[in-house]
A and B are shown apart, each in its own frame.
Chain A
C-alpha cells in the first residue's frame, strides 16, 4: 500500500452528497455509507452523513469539465477521481455521471460498473491512501469487480490502520474480567477468519463465519436506525403541517372576527345616517327651536367626527387584512413553486410606508464620495495584489495604491493612487486583481468580474468587458494573477486552483483549459500575483513571499518563499535577519 502525505487530523468525519436530487440518490447514499462502513470497520474512523457543503467528504456526480481542472472523459476509461485529505476540495470524491453505474451492488458487470467498488476505492483516496500495485487490493487503480462483503484485503487494511489505527474493541455491559478470557477471545477471532486461507477454510465460508452474523446484525441495526430517523423526519414534517394548519385557522378566525366587526360598524353607520336624516327633517320642521340648541349641534358634530374616525380605522383595518391576505397568497405560491415545506414565518402586520427615497444608484462613481481613504500600506511589510512590468518599469499594486520602480530604484512620491495614472478605472477602486502588458503593449487590468484594456493611460473603446468574454467561466469571480510565461511567451491567468492559457490570436481561452495549478510545482493554490521579470524568469507571489520559477524543471527554484520586500522594494534587512544562502 502507499500513503499520500496528508491524513485527516480527526477520526470523526462527515460526508455529504451534492446531487441529492438525482434519480438514484438514495441508492448512492446507501452505497457510500456501505463503502465508508468498510473503512470504518477496520480503523478508528467514524462517518456521519450531514446535509452541508461544509462536510469533509463531498460526493459529486459530474460530467466532463466540472471546475476542478480534471475533466471527465465520457463513458469508459476514467470512472472517478478523489482528492486526498485537506481543506476545501480535499477529501471530495467525484464520479463520472456519463458512466453506466450499477447502484444495486450486483456483481454482474452487464448491468454497469459496480458503484460500490468504485466508491470504496475513491473513498480510500479521500482518507489518504494512494494507488497500490497489488492486483487484489481495493486501491489497485484499474477497475475490478471484486466482492466487497464488508472485508478489506490485507494491503488496504494495513494502509488504513497505519493512518488511523486499529479499531478498539467495544465491549457491551458484560466486559470480560480477566486477561485469560481476552486471550481466548483473541484466539477465537484468529480462528474465525483467516485472510490467508483459501475460500474452503470453514470460517471463511460466509455461511459459517460468525463475523458475518455480526455484520448482518450491525446492518440490521443500521437499517433500523435509518428507519427511525426517517420516521422522526416524517413526524417532524407532520408536526409542521399541523402547526401551519393551526396558524391558518387562527388567521381565518381573526378574519371572520374582523368581518363581523366591519358589519357591525356598517350597521351603526346606517343607523346614524337614518337618525341624521330624521333629525334634519325635524330641524326643517322647526328651525327656530333648533337654532336655539347649540349644545345639540356640538353633540352632532362630535358624533360626526367620531363616525369619520371609526370609518378611517375600519378602512385601515381592511387594508391591513388585504395586505396579510396578499402576503399569505404570495408565500403559498412561493412554497408551491419551490416544492419546499419549511414552516412559514408569519408576516408582520405592518404596511410598508411610502418613501421618497430613490432606488440605489447604479453609478458606482457616486457610491463612496465620503468614504475615508485607505491608509498607504507599509512598503516593506505588505503583500502584493498584482505586479507587472509596464513599459520596462516594475509596477507593484496593493489596494488602491501602486509603487513604480525604475532602473534607479523606487520613484519618489510612491506609493500613489492607481487612478492618478489610469483615471478611467472605477472611482471606488479598492484593489486590482491582476495586471499585465499584452503583446500589443496594451495594459490589461483585471478587477473582479471585469477587465479593462488601456492604450497607455486611455481606456480602449468597449471596455470594461466581463471575464466571460475571454471564454472564462461566467461563475468566475476574480483572477488571481495574469502573466506572460517566458518559456513559450504565452499568456496565462490563474484563479484559485485553476489556470487558463489565452490564445493570442483569438483572444480566447484555449481548449484543454482550465488545468490544475499543481503543474506549477511548488507554487500552491490561491496565489496573489505572478509576472515575468526583465531577466525572463517568472516569479510567483503569495503573502509576504515570492518564488522564482525554474521553467526547465517546472518547479520553484527554492522551496522556501523569499521575502518580497527585500528583492522588489529594496527594503533593508532587519538586524537579525539572515539570508537563506548564509543560513
Chain B
C-alpha cells in the first residue's frame, strides 16, 4: 500500500479526482485546499464507482484504477459537466420558490 501511495502522488490523485468530478472542477481555478476527510470521501466515491474495495486510501487497486485508460467525461452529474444546456436544466427546472 505504501509503495502504491508513493507511486501515485497526492497531486496526481487530486487532479484525477477533479478531472472526473469527484472533487469540484472549480478547485482547478481557485486552488482551494481540501481537508483530509474531503479527499478520503472523494477517493471512496471513486473506488465505489470503479468497483474496487472501498478503503478511502490510495491503495494499489486505486493506483491501478487511475492508470487505466478511460473516457474523458466526468463520472458524476455535477454542475460543471459537459453539456452547455445542463446548467439551465439543473438550475432552472428544479428551483422551488417560496411564495
The one of B20, B71, B79, B84 in contact with A525, judged by C-beta atoms closer than 8 angstroms, is B84
Residues from chain B with Cβ under 8 Å of A86 in the complex: 83-85
B77 touches A130 (CB 8 A): yes
B69 touches A5 (CB 8 A): no
Complex contact B91–A141 (CB within 8 A): no
Does B48 sit at the interface, judged by CB under 8 A?
yes
When the two chains form the complex, which single residue of A5, A143, A519, A560 contacts B68, counting CB atoms closer than 8 Å? A143
Tell me, yes or no, whether B41 is within 8 Å of chain A by CB: no
Tell me whether B29 is interfacial, beta carbon within 8 Å.
Answer: yes
Residue in B73, B88, B91, B99 whose CB lies within 8 Å of A131: B73
Within 8 A of B (CB), among A30-62: none
Could you tell me if B84 and A88 are in contact, using CB atoms closer than 8 angstroms?
yes
* Nearest neighbor of B50 in chain A, beta-carbon distance: A142
Which residue of A has the minimal Cβ distance to B74? A131
Residues facing A in B41-91 (CB within 8 A) are 48-51, 65, 67-75, 77, 79-91
Contact B51 A555 (CB under 8 A): no
Q: How far is the CB of A271 from chain B (nearest CB, A)?
A: 81
Scoring A residues 76 to 110 as 1 if CB is less than 8 Å from chain B, else 0, what string do you get? 11111111111111100000000000000000000
Q: Mark B10-22, 1 if CB is under 8 A from A, else 0.
A: 0000000000100
- Interface residues on chain B, number (Cβ under 8 Å): 40
The contact size tier of chain A is 35 or more
Contact B79–A121 (Cβ < 8 Å): no
Contact of B89 among A5, A78, A521 (CB under 8 A): A5
Contact of B75 among A5, A135, A141, A522 (CB under 8 A): A141
Given contacts A559-B91, A559-B95, contact A518 B80 (CB under 8 A): yes
Is A142 a contact partner of B69 (Cβ separation < 8 A)? yes
What number of A-B contacts does a CB cutoff of 8 Å give?
139
Complex contact A90–B84 (CB within 8 A): yes
* B83 surroundings in chain A (CB, below 8 A): 4-6, 83-86, 90
Q: Does A122 contact B (CB under 8 A)?
A: yes
In this complex, what residue of B is CB-closest to A78?
B72
User: What is the CA–CA distance of A554 and B87 in the complex, to the nearest angstrom?
Assistant: 13
Is the pair B29, A81 in contact by a Cβ cutoff of 8 Å? Answer: no
Which of A113, A131, A143 has its CB near the most chain B CB atoms (within 10 A)? Answer: A131
Distance between Cα atoms of A518 and B18 in the complex (Å): 13
Contact of A5 among B24, B67, B71, B86 (CB under 8 A): B86
**Contact between A522 and B71, CB atoms less than 8 A apart:** no
**Which B residues are in CB contact (< 8 Å) with A125?**
71, 73, 82
Among B26, B49, B50, B70, point to the contact of A521 (Cβ < 8 A).
B26
Q: How far is the CA of A86 from the CA of B69 in the complex (A)?
A: 27
Residues of A contacting B90 in the complex (Cβ-Cβ under 8 angstroms): 5
Which of chain B's residues have a CB closer than 8 A to the CB of A343?
A: none
Task: Determine whether B5 belongs to the interface, using a CB cutoff of 8 Å to chain A.
Answer: no
Q: Is A133's CB within 8 Å of the partner chain B?
A: yes
Contacts of B80 in A (CB 8 A): 516, 518-519, 521
- In the complex, whether B7 has a CB less than 8 A from a CB of chain A is no
**Which A residues are CB-close (under 8 A) to B29?**
515, 519, 554
Residues of B contacting A113 in the complex (Cβ-Cβ under 8 angstroms): 69
Question: In the docked arrangement, what's the CA distance between A491 and B25, Å?
Answer: 19
Of the listed residues A72, A77, A90, A512, the one surrounded by the most CB atoms of chain B closer than 10 A to its CB is A77
Interface membership of A568, Cβ < 8 A: no
Question: Does the CB pair A81–B82 fall under 8 Å?
Answer: yes
Q: If the complex has contacts A86-B85, A133-B49, A522-B91, are A554 and B73 also in contact, measured as CB distance less than 8 A?
A: no
Q: Is the CB of A524 within 8 A of B97?
A: no
Is B28 among interface residues, defined by CB-CB distance under 8 A? yes
Q: Can you list, as one digit per residue, whether each of A551-565 has a CB less than 8 Å from chain B (1) or not (0)?
A: 100111001100000
Query: Smallest Cβ distance from B18 to chain A, in angstroms?
Result: 10
Q: Judging by beta carbons under 8 Å apart, are B51 and A135 in contact?
A: yes
A141, A516, A559: which contacts B71 (Cβ < 8 A)?
A: A141
Any A CB within 8 A of the CB of B35:
no
| Docked complex Cα distance between A181 and B28 (Å) | 61
Determine whether the beta carbon of B87 is less than 8 Å from that of A583. no
Q: Which of A512-569 contact B (CB under 8 A)?
A: 512, 515-516, 518-519, 521-525, 551, 554-556, 559-560
Q: Are A131 and B75 in contact (CB under 8 A)?
A: yes
A82 to B95, CA, bound (A): 28
Q: What is the distance, in angstroms, from A134's C-beta to the closest C-beta of chain B?
A: 8
B99 — which chain A residues lie within 8 A by C-beta?
583
Contact of A84 among B20, B72, B86 (CB under 8 A): B86
CB pair B70 A79 closer than 8 Å = yes
Task: Give the distance in Å from the alpha carbon of A555 to the alpha carbon of B91 in the complex.
Answer: 11
What is the bound-complex CA distance between A560 and B97, given in angstroms? 11
Task: Closest B residue to A130 by CB, please name it.
Answer: B77
CA distance in complex: A125, B81 (Å): 12
Minimum CB distance partner of B92 in chain A: A559
Q: Are B86 and A4 touching (Cβ within 8 A)? A: yes
**Best-buried of B70, B75, B92 by chain A (most CB within 10 Å):** B70
| Assembled-state Cα–Cα distance A527/B72 (Å) | 26
What's the least CB distance linking B34 to chain A, in Å? 13
Contact A488 B48 (CB under 8 A): no
Which of A130, A142, A523 makes the CB contact (< 8 A) with B70? A142
Query: Which 9 A-B pairs rank lowest in CB-CB distance, beginning with the nearest?
Result: A81-B72, A554-B26, A84-B83, A559-B91, A78-B72, A5-B89, A518-B80, A143-B69, A521-B79
Given A125-B82, A487-B30, A556-B91, 12 more pairs with CB closer than 8 A: A4-B83, A76-B69, A82-B73, A84-B82, A113-B69, A131-B74, A135-B51, A142-B50, A143-B69, A519-B25, A554-B30, A559-B91
Chain A residues proximal to chain B, CB less than 8 Å = 2, 4-6, 70, 72, 76-90, 113, 118, 121-122, 125, 130-131, 133, 135, 141-143, 487-488, 497, 512, 515-516, 518-519, 521-525, 551, 554-556, 559-560, 583
Question: Could you show 12 A-B contacts with beta carbons less than 8 Å apart?
Answer: A4-B81, A5-B86, A77-B70, A81-B72, A82-B82, A86-B83, A131-B49, A131-B74, A133-B51, A141-B75, A142-B50, A487-B30
